[in-house]
Amino acid sequence: MNILLIGYGKMGRAIEAQARARGHQLAGIIDPSRPGTSIADFTPAQVDVAIEFTHPDAAFQNVAACLRQGLPVVCGSTGWLHHFAEARALSAETGTPLFYASNYSVGVNLFFHFSEYMAAKMHQFGGYDVQVREIHHTQKVDQPSGTALTVAEGILRHFPGKTTWRNEPTTEPNELAVLSEREGAVIGTHIVTYSCPADTIELKHEAHTREGFVQGALLAAEWLPGRQGVFGMKDMLGL
């Protein structure tokens, strides 16, 4: 495939290397470090799919520009979901597919699945409270992480009594505490903890490298062209 890479940070460079190893070509790279090129310079004849990993402040504009150009886009930026309804409407209007995930790791998406199953079971027995904790490197901009928010939303759907989340400790019974820590070069750790006076149960995912995220993003990029609509990892993985 011909891939338009939007964002050339750590993830962008890792995606470039893996894409070339899988036999794909880069139609172009768009990044502030490479001024003079924009999404509007590319057409569907040149680009099979765009992969966007940038900054929360730029993500929606990039996604919208791809959709308007008719470029299928795989977005991994987080912190922009207050614009997601607009992106969904634009995808429908242009007939151009959008793939979004807060985390592209297959392991993390299984973690989402198991977390929802666990929430649905744990509330049946009473006595347990639940919290989410996420740890990332100090350069991580958004807080909580998009992955932690996806976990929190899944718990809220399946754990009656929890109706909202708070990004700090809380004693309100209807609030789910989502705790964020930033330290060192941690790639990403997410922990769901259920506790009661008798015991504690934890579900944990810890990323050791970025390879899982890169592989998942490229799998999504290979899966998306030719489809119509808005998709996520559950669609691709059949979860």
Integer Cα distance of 191 and 202 in angstroms: 7
- Among the listed residues 24, 140, 190, 205, the single catalytic one is 140
123 in catalytic set:
no
Q: Residues 218, 149, 133, 204: is their CA dihedral positive or negative?
A: negative
Active site residue 136: yes
Distances (CA, A) of 22 to 11, 16, 17, 36, 126: 16, 10, 9, 28, 49
Residue 164 and residue 175 in contact, taking contact as beta carbons nearer than 8 Å: yes
- Which of 66-75 are b and which e, b meaning 16 or more Cβ less than 10 Å from the residue's Cβ? bbebebbbbb
Distance CA 23, CA 40 (A): 25
Token code pair at residue 208: 């050791």
63, 96 contact by CB (below 8 A): no
Secondary structure of 166-223 in the HEC alphabet?
Answer: ECCCCCCCCEEEEEEEECCCCCCEEEEEEECCCCEEEEEEECCCCHHHHHHHHHHHHH
**One of 82, 113, 121, 136 is an active-site residue; which one?**
136
- Going by the DSSP 8-state scheme, the letter that residue 28 receives in this structure is E
The catalytic residue positions are 136, 140
